[in-house]
Structure 1
Amino acid sequence: MSVSTAEKEESTPARKRGNWINDWRPENPAFWRSKGRKIAWKNLGISVVAEHLGFNVWTLMSIVVVGLDEVGYSFGVGQQLWLLILPNLIGALLRVPYTFAVPRFGGRGWTTTSVCLLLIPCAMLAAAVTAENTPYWFFLLTAAAMGVGGGNFSSSMTNISFFFPEHRKGLALGLNAAGGNIGVAVSQLLVPFVMHLGAGVNLSYAALMWMPVIILTGACSWRYMNSLTAAKPDNGSYREAVRSRHTPVMALLYVGTFGSFIGFSFAFPSLIEIAFSDFSSFMGIAFIGALIGSVARPLGGWFSDRIGGARITMWNFLGLAAGTVGVLAGTHLDSFAVFFGPFVLLFVLTGIGNGSTYRMIPPVFVREAEQRAARTGEDLETAHRAAKRRSGAVIGVVGAVGAFGGVLINLVFKFSLQATGTLTPALLSVFALFLVCAAMTWWHYIRTDVPRTERARAAGV
């Protein structure tokens, strides 16, 4: 009788209050099979679309700016550069408060709000390019407003991290992130085509094309998504997470993966034109890099679930270093094929690294919580719930630093070209970054001197 009662309790459906779920136990196999899996994948599906739209809007200005001359806005190179940098900077800054918004307002409420906020930069861009004599400061304001799209990533990843059990989290976070990252490639592919529909260049179409989809996604988010009471913050959880010795390490690793991905995505078309002007026609397929990198991201989570996040991350950075040598060889040999092939490999590996790096975060904080529980006598289940909240906070911090990495990557390319007229100093700097990241991963999570239990947790095995 007692066994039947226990089994019944384990498989009890998630208790809901409106769209809030009060009882969420994804680590319980019976609960996950009976109800949890369906709810989690439903929320993930909508989250992917919402995050995808965020990346669509975030990268809009980098595509529109090349057509401003054709509609009568002749901004200088420095002015255009600020229009490209501002969305990245604001998006990076917003990632931390966006992470905090999920526990405050719930995943459903904040996903709906963050999606609807994307209508603002779209409306501003449409107004800026259709009105006559729009001042430069308004374009700057519009570019800054596009940063809200960059903030969506952290809130989306934090929200989804609460829905899935540990052994499924790598794949889930990888799919969620890939759905967002691929928005860069989709914008690079579709927006130029839509802008040239009809006669002449219609830059307003670049903004208007997303607005119906944004409205529909906001409505679906409000109607079908859920919020978890388990995602509510405990006192000081964010402060404790930021103080952790793992946070700066994971932030650096994410600069090496996502920072490189977003930096390369913005720079790739320009680098082709600058380094191989005879092959400038290939700029039209530059979206392939961002596309492949986005698709590869879930593989990082999938491999990490099976092999270990730290191991995949370390070997991935060594592969990135080798790929950078290949790109450098292409520039020195003046061979577009040698340049293009390794650069595509860089996109693949940054995508895999994005997934594996994020997969490392939850196990690290679970281990810290278990060690604290062993010392203080704290209930283990309570400690695990707190660890999930702390890892969610770190996801926001790491995501913000990674986005700043994209700015730094582009600045390195800019300074290299201005100082020497070549990409060599920039590529050597990137090569050094990848080696440092590989060494940091080995030192903190793989080397034999690291305690075995901590090493196993960090590796995700």
Structure 2
Amino acid sequence: MSTTATPAATAAAPPSATPASAPSASADPAAAPVELGVVGPGRWIERWDPQDEGFWASRGRAIARRNLVFSILAEHIGFSVWMLWSIVVVSMSGTFDATGALVTAGANGWALTAGQALTVLATASGVGAALRIPYTFAVPIFGGRNWTVVSALLLLVPTLGLAWVVQHPELPFWVLLVVAGTAGLGGGNFASSMANISFFYPEREKGWALGLNAAGGNIGVAVAQKAVPLVIGLGGVAAGLSNAGLLYVPLAIVSAVLAYRLMDNLREAKADPGPTARATRHLHTWLMALLYIGTFGSFIGYSAAFPTLLKVVFERGDIALAYGFLGALVGSLSRPLGGRLSDRLGGSVVTVGAFLVMAVAGLVAVVGVQERSLPLFFASFMALFVATGVGNGSTYRMIPAIFSRLGAREAGTDGGAGTAETALEFKRRAAGAVGIISAVGAFGGFVIPFVYKYAKEEYGSIVPALQVYVGVFLVLAVVTWAVYLRRGATMAKV
């Protein structure tokens, strides 16, 4: 991967130069240049150059790590809130006989059908996906640290809303959907967090850093799915449903305070949001969004639906509450591995492998459903989750590599004039593309529950849905190979 980033990296302005993105240093020609990495008023860092190895070793790495740690914390809380409903609806679902008659109501008088439960999950996922686009633009407009504070405080809306609505089963279903939709505020955090962190790290370490940032957020799904059943049990299931939301109220406040005190804004990242808009003109932005639907869309869609599937397909609500979190856990932990492997082997190689493993795991899951084998089904989904995690890391590593190569090509067409400015422009486009791609990819979490719902209602089984997913994974593997791996392709081996 280092060979693809070298032209842009070596073209960056030397430490002694003052980039155009540092107005405070350039406003007075007689003033001395602002030192790299100095934190100014409002925790703004005017000059930042992680490609400068001396600066990176002496100060840059420590500053970047500090911001990464608290970015992970805030994103973790956001993801947890986004997926709260994935476990709450299991307790709110009723049990129905073959004729559709209610046998047993869920907690607190709720009696959600399988279709209603999946609709709640799809709504939260869909809103989160849509919000990732404005959240991406928020970083260059407000600054990464500033927006982290705001986005963390916004999580009070879905958490308090959940605590209220679950105590009122007499409310219309659409009210429940509106409240569940606000959980999407947590899903938007991912885009702004990833766009922000991408500026802090040099090209050679982006895969690992973005993988850790994403994994720390993704693992919030598993933590929520494990913690929520425990807090629901406090004071009885009915009363405890509110605890699922109340648990994250103080955590959201703490993450906002820590971000305010310990994170930084980069002047390099705060600019005209134009580079993000210009990222939409590149075909590769949309191709990578398609691939990300297959990796992250699968991860978030399966994470949301997995506990419900265990209850619907195998009628094991106890397994869903006790072990449903494992899928999101292994998928989250494997994401940094995907980034690390991509740093060494190339993101395209790892992505093709991930899609092939996902296809095989999907076929095994079909057999598990047909044979009514819970162990086989569970194991196949664990393999599927691992592959989605690896694919998430590898696709995200491909994005900065692609834009680095595009920037080097652009600089070459003008004979090297404005090379540093071109490199910065494409770095900003890459950060914008990260948010756009994450938004489109997250819509997989909206579609997947509905596909399961349709298959269950029309065919009485989720097997047709699984078969469709297998076909999609194979198609995406071919697309990845043709555009990003095939010998002779302009973006080969990114």
Q: Which band: TM-score by shorter chain?
A: over 0.9
Q: CA deviation at 1:21?
A: 0.5
Q: Which residue matches 1:252?
A: 290
Distance 1:183 1:239 in 2: 30
Structure 1 pair 146/326, CA: closer, same or farther in 2 (3 Å)? same
Structure 1 CA distance, aligned partners of 2:137 and 2:445?
Answer: 22
Aligned counterparts of 2:341 and 2:386: Cα–Cα separation in 1: 14
1:364-379 equivalence runs, <5 A: 364-377=402-415, 378-379=417-418
Q: Which of 130, 141, 146 is equivalent to 2:183?
A: 146
Matches of 1:353 and 1:8, distance apart in 2: 36
In the alignment, which residue of structure 2 is the partner of 1:349? 387
Q: Pick closer, same or farther for the CA change 1:350–1:77 going to 2, 3 Å.
A: closer
Contact 1:44-1:160 within 8 A present in 2 as well: yes
Mapped partners of 1:101, 1:439: distance in 2: 35
Pick from 244, 247, 259: which aligns with 1:206? 244
**Structure-2 change in CA distance of 1:269 and 1:171 (3 Å):** same
CA distance in 2, matches of 1:352, 1:125: 32
How far residue 417 of structure 1 moved from its aligned partner, in angstroms, is 1.6
| Number of corresponding residues | 449
Asked whether 1:415 is paired with 2:438, we answer no
Mapped pair 1:14 → 2:37: yes
Q: What residue identity is the alignment partner of 1:36?
A: G
Partner SS for 1:316: helix
What does the per-residue CA deviation read over 1:217-275, in whole Å, with 9 as the maximum and x for residues that have no partner?
11110011001011134473223211101012101110110011111112212222333
Counterpart amino acid of residue 45 in structure 1: V
Task: Give the 3 Å change call, closer, same or farther, for CA 437–23 of structure 1 in structure 2.
Answer: same
Normalized against structure 2, the TM-score is what?
0.86
1:72 positional shift:
2.9
Distance 1:91-1:13 versus aligned 2 partners, 3 A rule? same
Which consecutive unaligned segments of at least 5 residues does structure 1 have?
1-5
Q: Counterpart in 2 of 1:49?
A: 73
Residue 348 of structure 1 aligns with an amino acid whose one-letter code is V
Determine the C-alpha separation between the residues in 2 that align with 1:349 and 1:423: 21
How far apart, in 2, do the equivalents of 1:412 and 1:319 lie? 21
Deviation at 1:44, TM superposition (A): 0.4
> What amino acid does structure 2 have at the position aligned with 1:414?
K
The answer to whether the 8 A contact 2:115-2:453 is kept is: no
- Aligned pairs for 1:308-327 (under 5 A) are 308-327=346-365
- Is the counterpart of residue 32 in structure 1 residue 56 in structure 2? yes
1:431 is aligned to 2:431: no
CA offsets, 1:294-327, max 9 Å, x none?
0110000011111111111111111111111221
Percent sequence identity over aligned pairs: 46
Give the alignment's Cα RMSD to 1 decimal.
2.1
Q: Which digits, 9 at most, give the CA deviation of each residue in 1:54-88, with x for residues without a partner? A: 11111122322333442234455555444322211
Q: Deviations over 1:321-369 (max 9, x none)?
A: 1111221222233333322212110000100100000000001011111
State whether structure 2 residue 149 is matched by structure 1 residue 112.
yes
Q: Report the equivalent of 1:61.
A: 85
**Does 2:221 match 1:184?**
yes
Task: Give, in whole Å, the separation in 2 of the partners of 1:196 and 1:265.
Answer: 22
- Counterpart of 1:298, as a letter, is P
Q: Measure how far apart 1:9 and its partner are.
A: 5.0
Decide whether aligned partners of structure 1 residues 384 and 234 sit closer, same or farther in structure 2, where only a CA change above 3 A counts.
Answer: farther
Greater shift after overlay, 118-127 or 28-37? Answer: 118-127
Note the 1:122-201 alignment, pairs <5 A: 122-130=159-167, 133-134=170-171, 136-201=173-238
Partner of 2:443: 404
Q: Distance in 1 between matches of 2:116 and 2:305?
A: 17
Question: Does the 8 Å CA contact 1:55/1:180 hold for their aligned counterparts?
Answer: yes
**Residue number in structure 2 paired with 1:3:** none
Is there any run of 5+ residues in structure 2 with no aligned partner, and where? 1-12, 18-33, 93-105
Q: Which has the higher helix share?
A: 1
Q: What is the alpha-carbon distance in structure 2 between the residues aligned to residue 336 and residue 405 of structure 1?
A: 25
Classify the secondary structure of the residue corresponding to 2:268. helix
Checking the alignment, whether the CA contact within 8 Å between 2:86 and 2:307 is kept in structure 1 is: no
1:289 aligns with 2:332: no
TM-score between both structures, scaled by the size of structure 1: 0.92
Q: Per-residue deviation at 1:7?
A: 10
Paired residue secondary structure (2:488): coil
SS of match in other structure, 2:461: coil
Distance, in Å, in 1 between the alignment partners of 2:370 and 2:14 is 67
Q: Are residues 318 and 40 of structure 1, via their aligned partners in 2, closer, same or farther at CA, if it must alter by over 3 Å?
A: same
The reply to whether residue 101 of structure 1 matches residue 138 of structure 2 is yes
1:224-303 to 2 correspondences below 5 Å:
224-234=262-272, 236-277=274-315, 281-283=318-320, 284-303=322-341
Indicate conservation of the 8 Å contact 1:16/1:23, yes or no. Answer: no
* Alpha-carbon contact 2:226-2:325 (below 8 Å) kept: yes
